[in-house]
Amino acid sequence: MARDPDDEALRWEGDDDPTLAPGWKTVGKPVPLNGADAEPEAQADAQAEAATAAESEAGPDAAAQPGSAELVLLGVLGGVYLLYAIGWLITASGTAPALADPVAQFMYGLGRWFAVAAPALWFGAVLWLAAERRRARLLWLIAGAVVLVPVPFLLRG
């Protein structure tokens, strides 16, 4: 039977080659193909060993991987925090008010540069501290997006 040319576009030559499947390894005792030859207890033991090995290979990180929607939301919030940092940088680069006290002048400048670093620090801290709790991580990131708005940049004429 001749192959359809459209089907050939969906395959690579050598897809069925067993050497192209890295990472597969034999786990447990081999089970005979004919079920009548093996004892039922031996089959149950082999299946239990295979299930245990599959769970241990997947590990606890397999369930903790974020979904597509969460990754998109994290990317959008990361972009918002980057824009906030740029807004605070533009504000901090502007002229400072003339203060008579040198300590007040220093503290004002220090506060402006901390405002530039605040969005990046907040984003990093929330991702690091709330890595296991997805809902809490997203809520803290949204709260930070509300709190860290560069108001002086927005009110600038």
Residue with tokens 């039922």: 40
The per-residue pLDDT string of the chain (157 residues; one tens digit each, 9 = 90 and over) reads 566 667 767 766 666 666 656 656 556 676 667 755 555 565 666 666 666 655 555 555 555 677 888 889 999 999 999 999 999 999 888 887 888 888 988 998 899 999 999 999 999 999 898 878 888 899 999 999 999 998 888 888 5
Percent of the chain whose pLDDT exceeds 90: 29
Q: What per-residue string of b and e applies to 2-27 under the rule 16 or more CB within 10 Å gives b?
A: eeeeeeeeeeeeeeeeeeeeeeeeee
Q: Residues 16-38: pLDDT tens digits?
A: 666 656 656 556 676 667 755 55
Q: Please give the model's pTM, rounded to 2 decimal places.
A: 0.56
Return the percentage of the chain with pLDDT > 70, whole number.
61
Domain boundaries, the chain: 12-58, 68-155
C-beta separation of 70 from 134 below 8 A: yes
H helix intervals, the chain: 5-8, 40-58, 68-93, 102-129, 134-147, 151-155
DSSP 18: G
